[in-house]
Amino acid sequence: MNQLQTADYIVFFIYFILVTAYGLYIYKKKKAKQTSSKDFFLAEGSLTWWAIGASLIASNISAEHFIGMSGSGYALGLAISTYEWMAAATLIIVAVFIIPLYLKNKIFTMPQFLAKRYNDTVSTIMAVIWLLVYVFVNLTSIIYLGALAISSISNISFEWCIAGLSIFSIIVTLGGMKVIGYTDVFQVLVLIIGGLVTTYLALTLLSEQFGFGNSILKGLSVLKTEAPSHLHMIFDKSHPHYKELPGLSVLIGGMLINNLAYWGCNQYIVQRALGADLKTARKGILFAAFLKLLIPVIAVLPGIAMYVMHKNGMFQAEMADAAGVVKPDHAYPTLMNLLPAGLKGVAFAALTAAIVASLAGKANSISTIFSLDIYKKYFNKEASERKLVLTGRWAVVISMIIAAIVAPALKSLDQAYQFIQEYVGFFSPGVLAIFLLGLFWKKTTAAAGLAGALLTVPVSTVLKFLPVWTNRAFPDYPFLDRMTITFFAIVIIMIVISLARPKPANDMHVIEMDKSMFKVTPDFIIGSFIICGILAALYTVFW
């Protein structure tokens, strides 16, 4: 029944009160510094490594994982886990090679880096693109999926779910990065516990339906025998979902580009580490990489389990919309509805924690970019620290209202997770090209950076729609392959422009680099080897 019981409400309100009280405690404890914009936006020097790691995951994991990734697990299988497992490897690269450069050059926002390395034009163009994507893709999709999930497991209407999530997120975000960072530790704990509860239910239910009793191991065995096609990580060209996850591109092609752009050049992710020293930042990022290995267990396995049960005649009505069309994104809410009173409240709190933490992180980054890179630069160059913080808070409120208004328009989607990945991928290749060349090739010019910023979306758009415009005469590439092509096209264009019109040495905006920054500690090396070993084992077993 799609209704929370008294025990569920009690569990949820305990969670709500604890998060609110803890956030208020952190805010009160550090209130004296809240007039500082750096403290508000970055929690400068205040976050520990475990808070940074937890906040990275809390900002990343949201309804698109619980709902969207479970839906893709239902439709595609374990292969969708490559987004998470390859992210773990990417985080190691970011920690070793990219974060040190940001910290060395005192970078606080991604547009600030672009202004420092290129010029204000490149910075402003990318700032506007980031703001549009964060509001109309990220915030909107998270609010939509969150409201869809919560309305599916309760008697709260979809519209009230949107309003409630938006208000709760605004409350958390207005406290600044420090409140977000430390409440994220609690949020991650809740979402992992709640996620494991739902996974446990899915596997034991599967075991029971096939006559093996209440056993997780038997449930995993049933997955292997009943859905062997759903337990492969690499698709060949004959696979019906090859276009979503095209072969080795998920390892060395578009997936790597996607992850490097997301984890290394993305304000609401990188922001967590920019206020810390290098050692703390690296430990936090490595902790986040370990946590990423766990996400498919709580997000993908339930979707595969639901696929097996649906294939064997269960949950036919629950998995379909009003027109009788199967909706993969209904998999996770259907499972949550099966939880007993109390445990359903835990899962409900976990889902809410994931949604709110992610919304808060993205809204904080929107306010950071708008306040520091748009408002202060173009509207009020003499703005005080207090004025910047106030502007940031207003940006949070306005962006959340816009996203809440737009969110219902996403109701037509089948797999929201794939929608998010594809359309963010329109500008990710260009972002990565601009950043990598800007960081590691000192001859890159501002004109090249401007070309990269202006061309990434048009090139991606042409590659997507040219097959339609030419009646399939032009190849219809999978979107991850389009990202690879776009990335290398932008890199070549930027190199040609830089070499054709080089700037004098005294006019180059070069990022400071010290090779000693790339040295890592023995414990970081050990942790990295463990993560890479686990990944190698997973891809070997499930290739």
**511 near 101, Cβ under 8 Å?**
yes
Residues 416, 70: Cα–Cα separation, whole Å:
10
Contact between residue 490 and residue 457 where contact means Cβ atoms under 8 Å apart = no
DSSP 32: G
Neighbours of 213 (CB within 10 A): 9
Report the 10 Å Cβ neighbour count for 524: 18
Name the CA dihedral angle for 249, 255, 256, 258, rounded to a multiple of 10 degrees. Answer: 140
Rg of the chain over all Cα atoms, to the nearest angstrom? 23
Q: What is the pLDDT of residue 177?
A: 61
Q: Is 326 helix (H, G, I), strand (E, B) or coil?
A: strand
Reported pTM: 0.83
Yes or no: say if 3 and 348 are a contact pair by the CB < 8 Å rule. Answer: no
The per-residue pLDDT for 313 is 78
Three-state DSSP class for 367? helix
Question: What is the DSSP secondary structure assignment for residue 64, as one 8-state letter?
Answer: I
Interatomic CA distance for residues 157 and 433, integer angstroms:
43
Mark out the alpha helices in 174-266 (DSSP H runs). 177-209, 216-226, 249-252, 254-264
- The alpha helices in 248-342, defined as continuous H runs, are 249-252, 254-264, 267-270, 278-299, 301-311, 331-336
Distance CA 456, CA 122 (A): 13
**The pLDDT of residue 413:** 61
What would the DSSP string read from start to end of 467-484?
HHHTTT-S----HHHHHH
Burial class (CB in 10 A: 0-12, 13-18, 19+), 240: exposed
SS3 breakdown of the chain: % helix, strand, coil, rounded to 5?
75, 0, 25
pLDDT score of 32: 47
Q: Are the C-beta atoms of residues 416 and 67 closer than 8 Å to each other?
A: yes
Domain 17-26+37-418 has CATH 3.40.640.10: no
Contact between 47 and 181 under an 8 Å Cβ cutoff? The reply is: yes
pLDDT for res 497:
94
Please state at what angle helix 522-541 crosses helix 82-93, rounded to 10 degrees. 160
Could you state, in order of their start, the residue ranges of all structural domains in the chain?
A: 17-26+37-418, 425-512
- What residue type is assigned to position 57 of the chain? I
For 342, left (φ over 0), alpha (ψ -120 to 50), or beta? left
Q: Which residues contact 512 (CB under 8 A, 6 or more apart)?
A: 101, 104, 105
Predicted confidence pLDDT, tens digits, the chain (543 residues): 456 788 888 888 888 788 777 777 777 765 544 455 665 665 555 678 888 888 888 777 776 677 778 888 888 888 889 989 999 999 999 999 999 988 888 888 888 889 888 888 988 988 898 888 888 888 888 888 788 777 877 778 888 888 888 888 887 777 666 666 667 777 778 778 878 888 888 888 888 888 787 788 888 888 888 888 888 888 888 888 888 888 888 888 888 998 999 898 887 778 777 777 889 989 999 999 999 999 899 888 888 888 888 888 787 777 776 667 777 877 887 887 777 777 778 777 877 777 877 788 788 888 888 888 888 888 888 877 788 888 888 888 999 999 999 888 877 665 555 666 677 778 889 999 999 999 888 889 989 999 998 998 899 888 888 877 777 777 778 888 888 999 999 999 999 999 998 876 655 667 787 888 888 999 999 999 999 999 999 999 888
| Cα–Cα distance list, 389 to 23, 106, 361, 385 (Å) | 18, 20, 16, 6
**What amino acid occupies position 318?**
E
